[in-house]
Amino acid sequence: MSLTNPNGESTGERRFRLVVDAAPNAILMIDQAGRIVMANSQAERVFGYSRAELVGQSVEILVPERLRPHHPELRKTFWTDPQSRPMGAGRDLYAVRKDGSEFPVEIGLNPIEIEDGTMVLSAIVDISARKAAELALRESELRYRVLVDGVTDYAIYMIDPNGIITNWNRGAQRIKGYRTEEIVGQHFSCFHTEEDRAANVPQQSLEIAVRDGRYEAEAWRLRKDGSRFLANVVIDALRNDSGQLIGFAKITRDITERVQAARELEEARISLVKSQAEEALHRVQAELAHVARVATMGELTASIAHEVNQPIAATAANAQAALRWLALQPPDMEEARQALARIVHDSKRAGDIIRRIRDLMKKAPPRVDRFDINGAIREVIELSRADATKNGVSIQTQLANGLPLAKGDRIELQQVVLNLIVNAVEAMSTVAEGPRELLIVTARAGADVLVTVPDTGPGLPAADLEHIFEPFHTTKQTGLGMGLSICRSIINAHGGRLWASANLPRGAIFHFTVPAHPDSAS
């Protein structure tokens, strides 16, 4: 047969050649001995040989050298059962061009009967492009796998259309605690709580993803060990090019910490607002304390005036006496000196009283200081003694020696003592009979300094022992009922305690503590 020679061919042969030539693939006809008897123009193009170069050659010239030794045997096997089939099923096939370059191929073998006997028609497809595309796809898949698997902050996995888990990344293992081999093949509802499963949430979430393309939720999920975590869950429906559902991609994030952090932030915010409110309250209380102090001092004006008057009057008397001693012939210098010393003493005393009044009237922010509580009490008693005396009340003290210094604002604590004295004097002035005795006792009580103020007034009904500290609780016609309320807020702010109890056989006792200053020697 001579298909290569157009001049000698029959009409049938010519038709056959035209058809084969028009085929989009390289086609070779090979005889049983493995010789090329015909090649189409595609074959010329693919292999880089001219038809003349091909025809008559062993087909092995198109087989890469490294595969050549096996080829004759493979050819023989074909002839034991010649039928149409792809060549080299399951193997990668390669062909070699005239220039020696190799390329991957797919080969179809078809036995055909012609006049010269049975031949094999071999159709060869250059699959370089497809292979390259496949390789690129594999590489990109690998890159994605490495990327997805490398993510540890998110559980990323896929489920099939029935909800069966098909793969698993490292983040999923970290968050949920399952290893890949434990979980692939399971239904994804195993991450749902029992309540969610009972409510058919797993199935519904897939249905929503199918309907809307995506499902998103924040909900509790279960780890392998049964513990719960708050999860942000996204399910994306995956479809192929023809729109058919092929499964779901699921991304789960553990947001327990984030929610926790948000909660802590909120708590911090609340406590900030609270501390601002408390600060505002303290400011108002301090303001009120000052106003109340000024008011109390106002009430005491008459007795305070008397108190200041005494040393001033004494000074005047002593000055006259001194003048008299000096007018004598000879002047009595010693007596004059003593009178002048008394003047110095009295004027100093008057000055001290005025300074204390000014201190008590002064408006100053509360300060944390350390001070001798006995000294502070003595000053207050001096200011109120005239008032007490006027009401027939005697004030006694039992001030302990060697007390630690108190920690706090001296003026505010003086205000507390002053309020207690004024209340006690007012209370006792209402009783007609019996002694009117006010005692002020200081003592050490652990890390605190304790001040106790018993009186012999009418005392307090047991039911009122707490009520009297409420604002506006008063039994007096002109009282505001603020005194004890202010006292308590002052003492509380100092970290101490103020309370009342009954005295025996009658009267009330007020007690308060103030922390001792840690640096003060006992």
Ligand X SMILES: Nc1ncnc2c1ncn2[C@@H]1O[C@H](COP(=O)(O)OP(=O)(O)OP(=O)(O)O)[C@@H](O)[C@H]1O
Contact between 30 and ligand X (CB under 6 A)?
A: no
Contact between 480 and ligand X (CB under 6 A)?
A: yes
Shortest distance, position 296 Cβ to Mg ion, whole Å: 8
How many residues form the binding site for ligand X (CB under 6 A)? 22
Window of 43-51, 207-215, 242-250, 479-487 that interacts with ligand X by CB under 6 A: 479-487
- DSSP reduced 3-state for 415: helix
The Cβ of residue 258 has, within 10 Å, a number of other Cβ atoms equal to 12
Q: Which residues contact 121 (CB under 8 A, 6 or more apart)?
A: 27, 28, 29, 109, 110, 111, 112
- Give me the amino acid identity at 5: N
Shortest distance, position 220 Cβ to ligand X, whole Å: 54
Determine which residue in the list 424, 490, 493, 498 makes contact with ligand X, applying CB under 6 A. 424
Counting other chains too, the contacts that 212-216 makes at CB distance below 8 Å and 24 or more residues apart are: 213/237
Q: Which residues contact 450 (CB under 8 A, 6 or more apart)?
A: 442, 443, 444, 511, 512, 513
Window of 40-48, 342-350, 439-447, 453-461 that interacts with ligand X by CB under 6 A: 453-461
Contact between 423 and ligand X (CB under 6 A)?
A: yes
Shortest distance, position 509 Cβ to ligand X, whole Å: 9
383 binds, among Mg ion, ligand X, none (CB under 5 to 8 A by kind): none
482 binds, among ligand X, Mg ion, none (CB under 5 to 8 A by kind): ligand X
Q: How far apart are CA 353 and CA 362, in angstroms?
A: 14
Window of 32-40, 147-155, 312-320, 477-485 that interacts with Mg ion by CB under 5 A: 477-485
Binding mask 411-430 for Mg ion (x = CB under 5 A): ------------x-------
Binding mask 457-476 for ligand X (x = CB under 6 A): xxxx-------x----xxxx
Window of 154-162, 300-308, 360-368, 450-458 that interacts with ligand X by CB under 6 A: 450-458
List phi, psi (to 5°) of 311. Answer: -65, -30
Shortest distance, position 422 Cβ to Mg ion, whole Å: 6
156 binds, among ligand X, Mg ion, none (CB under 5 to 8 A by kind): none
Shortest distance, position 474 Cβ to ligand X, whole Å: 3
Q: How far apart are CA 505 and CA 288, in angstroms?
A: 35
Shortest distance, position 479 Cβ to ligand X, whole Å: 3
Q: Residue 123's closest CA among 38, 217, 181?
A: 38
Comparison of 408 and 483: residue with beta carbon closer to Mg ion: 483
236, 301, 409 from 368: Cα distances, Å: 64, 29, 5
**Tokens (6 digits) for 137:** 């796809």
**Residue 242: Cβ-neighbour burial (10 angstroms; 0-12, 13-18, 19+):** exposed
**By 3-state DSSP, what share of the chain in percent is helix, strand and coil, each rounded to 5?**
50, 25, 25
What angle is formed at CA 417 by the lines to CA 411 and CA 422, rounded to 5 degrees? Answer: 120
Question: Residue with CB nearest ligand X?
Answer: 483
* Residues 318 and 339 sit within 8 Å (Cβ to Cβ): yes
Contact between 508 and ligand X (CB under 6 A)?
A: yes
Comparison of 483 and 507: residue with beta carbon closer to Mg ion: 483
Contact between 483 and Mg ion (CB under 5 A)?
A: yes
Chain positions contacting ligand X, by CB under 6 A: 419, 423-424, 427, 455, 457-460, 468, 473-476, 479-485, 508
The residues binding Mg ion (CB under 5 A) are 423, 483
